[in-house]
């Protein structure tokens, strides 16, 4: 129950994936953009004029890149990967069943289903289908996108289902009955909004939603948490906490762990600062930890993961550390902690997961995985034991555990050239065993992975991974795709992608992943090094990787492309405007670009802690240096660029990509392309075919322009 982390993940996991349709379609009073931006009309997201422009742009881009047999082949090969029946059906344990959501050719919008462990072990398990989203859409005349479920333990018979009308973050909430496989008549139900809801018991929910004017924060998330009783109107729900309009979000939750039932309120002030309260006997009791730390009560324990160093009871715990104490002792005022993990120059804590008797740490060592198991002892000590080493250049992640009942754990093992596998184990019963294996979607034997380090402008060593054909001739002629993100403490670790393999590597291309600052590859310090006024460090890092690829003879600017989405789209915008000489083509996807207006668009106000506030003149003084929309200049030799976005993106929104493309075209630039899908939210698409179309469009654009 990682309270603060769960808030941040629910609020968009660092802009990496969906927000609510609450875009501010008119300029904020007093902003410069209200008087000198000729493309404000494109901020009318569904307006006739704006949509006519989108349709015209889409037609041109489709004709250029998506009308020939080469595109169809790329799209179909990617779609084969996404629709493959041989993919791993990843599961989540709920009681005696393993639950899975599955999309394929026969079920484009997907089926929600479950099976038993014994059945899941089989090569072709028998699944019990609980809800067919395509059938639901046909019956209701809708285009619902499944966004997840929250089932009431321990029976797990009643669930809250989230359904998005277009793939965005705004969802309709409905109560579902598992035994009858039907929605509950007169059950809990909420209309489309950016809703947060969780079970208290079978007749009560904690809920935050759009209760009416003023009930959402300026970031468009719930400001008020209430208790809603079954059979009563939402208007009768009792308020348990009311945040400030300038807060990021407020949420409430109930921990149903047997013997440790507790209620909590989490108040996110911005993306990295929160306050947590225990709600006990109608009173709020503050958990006195730093506001930028993650507080995680679990059974008798309280874990605290630190973003900044913390001195307490005469002891200083470093940034990035994970420390533990007894929850009841902490609430009684005691401040003695045990350090469970402390980073060094090469390591950072990626995540952790509880089993019934143990704690598994997922540690990055120069961006490569290792797992440690910690076991608390009766005398207060914690025993450390290393789990078997992961394969070279791989990522091992704990994807599920069953902490209420057992020491079972499930591991995802993946690498750039190693098809993903799913392993299951029980701590104390020997090593985990592979239970599902993804097929190989391309011939990896022809390629090799290497890790390199380059010195950035300020002397910092920055790592990057390179996936290239074996015995690569360093003649500077290889079409190379450089991918990056660099924000919100999100790490880019090794991963297997059949789409990248088929659409890029199989063609003879080189694929590179840059671990630039702003991410979390080396913990909070790596992220904080590129915050706000230091944002340019991330772009200097990415440019340094690009220059190193040329210096080493892997590629040349003519053959070097770059790709990134969301915050990575902002990275691409800055590569375009600050380093145009380094690249031959850029794919800029669901991007932030107008950093003067971003806080007034969609959920942009929620990211002020990352970028700064452009309405504050002192902060605009540094933000303007990394605002691509404002930094476009005439008569510059910009590389070819494709802007990709979606109408239904209610997090970043489509308008920034629209305006950037329109402004470039208005300045006379010809090698500018734009494509906007209507569905899919902040992701690639609402179904696999839409996702395949988007990926193929980007890869073919880049491949063709890097000749």
pLDDT at residue 331 in the model: 97
- Residue 252's SS3 state is strand
pLDDT at residue 30 in the model: 33
Task: Name the pTM for this structure.
Answer: 0.93
Q: Which two tokens stand for residue 302?
A: 């309280």
pLDDT at residue 35 in the model: 52
The CA-based dihedral angle spanning residues 368, 369, 370, 375, taken in that order and rounded to the nearest 10 degrees: 140
pLDDT at residue 689 in the model: 95
Least confident of 23-37, 329-343, 499-513: 23-37
Q: Give the model's confidence band at 4: pLDDT under 50 very low, under 70 low, under 90 confident, else very high.
A: very low
pLDDT at residue 8 in the model: 36
Q: Using an 8 Å Cβ cutoff, are 646 and 560 in contact?
A: no
Segment 60-74 shows an average pLDDT of 95
In the chain, the largest separation of any two C-alpha atoms, in whole Å, equals 73
Segment 329-339 shows an average pLDDT of 97
Least confident of 32-36, 42-46, 111-115, 548-552: 32-36
3-class SS string, 5-45: HHHHHHCCCCCCCCCCCCCCCCCCCCCCHHHHCCCHHHHCC
3-class SS string, 309-362: CEEECCEEECCCCEEEEEHHHHHCCCCCCEEEECCCCCEEEEEEEECCCCEEEE
* In the predicted structure, residue 609 carries a pLDDT above the cut 90: yes
Q: What is the mean pLDDT of the chain?
A: 94
Helices 48-65 and 655-666, axial angle in degrees (round to 10): 70
Least confident of 331-345, 616-630, 674-688: 674-688
Segment 6-14 shows an average pLDDT of 35
Rounded Cα distance, 110 and 688, in Å: 10
pLDDT at residue 593 in the model: 98
* In the predicted structure, residue 14 carries a pLDDT above the cut 80: no
The residue whose two tokens read 């109608």 is: 282
Q: Using an 8 Å Cβ cutoff, are 403 and 381 in contact?
A: no
Q: What is the DSSP string of 81-138?
A: HHH-TTS----EEETTEEEEEE--SS-SS-EEEEE-HHHHTSSS---EEEEEHHHHHH
Q: What is the DSSP string of 292-308?
A: TSEEEEETTEEEEE-SS
Provide the 10 A C-beta neighbour count for residue 683. 24
Compute φ and ψ for 140, nearest 5 degrees. -100, -5
Q: Give the model's confidence band at 392: pLDDT under 50 very low, under 70 low, under 90 confident, else very high.
A: confident
Q: Give the model's confidence band at 244: pLDDT under 50 very low, under 70 low, under 90 confident, else very high.
A: very high
Q: Using an 8 Å Cβ cutoff, are 295 and 324 in contact?
A: no
pLDDT per position as a tens digit, 265-292: 999 999 999 999 999 999 999 999 999 9
pLDDT per position as a tens digit, 180-230: 999 999 999 999 999 999 999 999 999 999 999 999 999 999 999 999 999
pLDDT at residue 12 in the model: 35
Domain 7-79+449-705 bears CATH identifier 3.40.50.1820: yes
pLDDT at residue 19 in the model: 29
pLDDT at residue 504 in the model: 98
Provide the 10 A C-beta neighbour count for residue 370. 17
Which positions are catalytic?
566, 682
- 26 vs 445, which has greater pLDDT? 445
Q: Using an 8 Å Cβ cutoff, are 653 and 140 in contact?
A: no
Q: Give the model's confidence band at 389: pLDDT under 50 very low, under 70 low, under 90 confident, else very high.
A: low
């Amino acid at each position: 129950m990682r309270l603060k982390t769960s808030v941040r993940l629910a609020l968009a996991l660092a802009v990496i994936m969906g927000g609510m349709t609450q875009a501010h379609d008119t300029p904020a009073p007093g902003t410069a953009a209200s008087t000198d931006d000729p493309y404000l009309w494109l901020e009318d997201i569904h307006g006739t004029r704006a949509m006519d422009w989108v349709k015209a742009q889409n037609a041109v881009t489709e004709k250029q890149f998506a009308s020939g047999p080469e595109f169809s082949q790329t799209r179909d090969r990617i779609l084969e990967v996404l629709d493959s029946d041989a993919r791993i059906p990843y599961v989540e344990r709920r009681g005696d069943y393993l639950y899975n959501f599955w999309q394929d050719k026969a079920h484009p919008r997907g089926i929600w289903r479950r099976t038993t462990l014994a059945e899941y072990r089989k090569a072709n398990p028998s699944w019990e289908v609980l809800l067919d989203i395509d059938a639901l859409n046909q019956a209701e005349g809708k285009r619902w996108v499944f966004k997840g479920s929250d089932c009431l333990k321990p029976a797990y018979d009643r669930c809250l289902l989230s359904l998005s009308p277009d793939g965005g973050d705004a969802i309709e909430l409905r109560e579902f009955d598992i035994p009858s496989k039907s929605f509950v008549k007169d059950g809990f139900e909420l209309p489309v909004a950016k809703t947060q809801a969780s079970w208290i018991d079978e007749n009560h929910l904690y809920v935050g939603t759009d209760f009416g004017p003023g009930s959402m924060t300026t970031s468009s998330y719930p400001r008020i948490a209430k208790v809603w009783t079954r059979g009563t109107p939402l208007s009768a729900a009792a308020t348990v906490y009311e945040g400030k309009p300038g807060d990021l979000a407020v949420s409430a939750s109930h921990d149903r762990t047997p013997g440790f039932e507790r209620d909590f309120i989490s108040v996110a002030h911005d993306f990295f600062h929160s306050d947590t309260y225990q709600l006990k006997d109608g009173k709020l009791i503050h958990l006195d930890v730093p506001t930028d730390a993650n507080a995680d009560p679990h059974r008798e324990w309280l874990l605290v993961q630190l973003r900044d160093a913390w001195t307490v009871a005469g002891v200083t715990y470093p940034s990035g550390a994970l420390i533990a104490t007894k929850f009841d002792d902490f609430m009684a005022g005691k401040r003695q902690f045990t350090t469970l993990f402390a980073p060094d120059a090469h390591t950072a804590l990626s995540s952790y997961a509880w089993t019934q008797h143990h704690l598994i740490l997922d540690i990055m060592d120069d961006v490569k995985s290792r797992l440690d198991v910690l076991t608390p002892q009766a005398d207060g000590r914690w025993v450390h034991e290393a789990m078997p080493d992961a394969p070279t250049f791989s990522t091992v992640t704990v994807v599920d555990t069953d902490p209420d009942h057992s020491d079972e754990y499930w591991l995802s093992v993946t690498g750039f050239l190693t098809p993903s596998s799913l392993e299951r184990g029980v701590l104390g019963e020997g090593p985990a065993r592979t239970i599902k294996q993804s097929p190989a979607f391309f011939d990896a034997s022809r390629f090799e992975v290497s890790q390199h380090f380059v010195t950035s402008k300020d002397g910092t060593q920055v790592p990057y991974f390179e996936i290239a054909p074996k015995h690569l001739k360093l003649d500077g002629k290889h079409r190379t795709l450089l991918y990056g993100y660099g924000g919100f403490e999100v790490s880019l670790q090794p991963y297997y992608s059949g789409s990248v393999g088929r659409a890029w590597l199989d063609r003879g291309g080189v694929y590179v992943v840059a671990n630039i600052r702003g991410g979390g590859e080396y913990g909070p310090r790596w992220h904080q090094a590129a915050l706000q006024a230091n944002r340019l460090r991330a772009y200097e890092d990415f440019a340094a990787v690009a220059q190193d690829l040329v210096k080493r003879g892997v590629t040349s600017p003519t053959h070097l492309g770059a790709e990134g989405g969301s915050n990575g789209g902002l990275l691409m915008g800055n590569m375009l405007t600050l380093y145009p000489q380094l690249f031959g083509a850029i794919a800029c996807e669901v991007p932030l670009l107008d950093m003067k207006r971003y806080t007034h668009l969609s959920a942009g106000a929620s990211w002020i802690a990352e970028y700064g506030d452009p309405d504050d003149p002192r902060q605009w003084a540094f933000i303007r240096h990394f605002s691509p929309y404002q930094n476009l200049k005439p008569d510059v030799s910009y590389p070819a660029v494709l802007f990709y976005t979606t109408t239904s993106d209610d997090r970043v929104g489509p308008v920034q990509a629209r305006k950037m493309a329109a402004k470039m075209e208005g300045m006379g630039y010809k090698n500018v392309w734009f494509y906007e899908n209507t569905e899919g939210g902040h992701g690639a698409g609402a179904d696999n075919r839409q996702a395949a179309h988007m990926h193929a469009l980007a890869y073919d654009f880049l491949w063709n322009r890097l000749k």
